Amino acid sequence: MRIGKQDNATTAIATSDAESITVRGEDLCADLIGKINFTDYFWLLVLGERCTPAQRQMLDACLVAIAEHGLVPSVQAARMTLAAGPEAWQGAMAAGLLGMGSVVAGSSEVSGRYLDEVLRKADADGTDLQAATIASLETLKAAKKKVPGLGHPQHSDGDPRANRLLDIADELGVSGKYVQALRTLAEHAPRIIQRPLPINVSGAIPAVMLDAGWPLEALKAVPLLARTAGLSAHLFEESMRSIGFIMSNQADLAIAYDGKLSGHEAKTR
């Protein structure tokens, strides 16, 4: 049974023969190994062309900014999975990456698509960016929805990672329409939503990466690669001194049961 289109059986990423391996049109052994750093190679793999120095610095900065952020849910899932199956790093890594959705880490993609939507709406309606931004924020407020890319539960005065990434984008001359859209949102959101809403790192990353030339459809690859590095550190530490079951026990102690009681429990309480 055939599912999906059958008329595009090609790939432009890699091929090999008995003598060589070709990746994006370059010889892996002669042109790439020992001659290209991993950030450049990541860009080449995804886009099929080498990045400029400014694009490399911007991508590097984003990867460093979110590689590690403590015992967040995805890290806890990975460490507890490794504690239960210490032989399966791949399973623990997968558990951590699967926890990166629209709320944590994967929120960069959500923010990027929102910025793109605001810009496209401005073009389609023939309005300026400010008018499109205000209209979008008012729509979100009426629907009682969050503003993607703005607000942070801990860094209420401003996410320092976001501020640094935006500064770097300005210094490199990368900042363009997406950074402008993000800053316009941050300018009007507090008044419209009626609470502090600083730019967060999940808003800064897509803004600077899209302006740097990274494709919207591949945005999620950036936080995924970054967190893989952080998860590697946590899994190594977990294998040396495990806290997985300690976290599990603390969770069990922290969560109260409010379901029905058995007959025995009802008598003893």
What mean pLDDT do residues 14-20 have?
96
Structure confidence at residue 6 (pLDDT): 72
Is the CB of residue 177 less than 8 Å from the CB of residue 213? no
Residue 130 neighbours by CB distance under 10 Å: 12
d(CA 50, CA 95): 32
Average pLDDT value for the chain: 93
d(CA 22, CA 31): 9
Model confidence at 107, pLDDT cuts 50, 70, 90, reads: confident
- Using CB atoms within 10 Å of the CB of residue 106, give its burial: 0 to 12 exposed, 13 to 18 middle, 19+ buried: buried
Structure confidence at residue 9 (pLDDT): 84
Structure confidence at residue 101 (pLDDT): 78
- Given a cut of 70, is residue 268 above it in pLDDT? no
pTM of the model: 0.91
What mean pLDDT do residues 75-79 have?
95
- Given a cut of 80, is residue 152 above it in pLDDT? no
CA dist list (Å): 86 to 27, 77, 201, 238, 242: 37, 13, 33, 9, 10
d(CA 228, CA 19): 32
pLDDT digits (tens, 9 = 90+) for 112-141: 999 999 999 999 989 899 999 999 999 999
Handedness of CA 120, 123, 124, 130 (dihedral sign): positive
Model confidence at 198, pLDDT cuts 50, 70, 90, reads: very high
Amino acid at 25: G
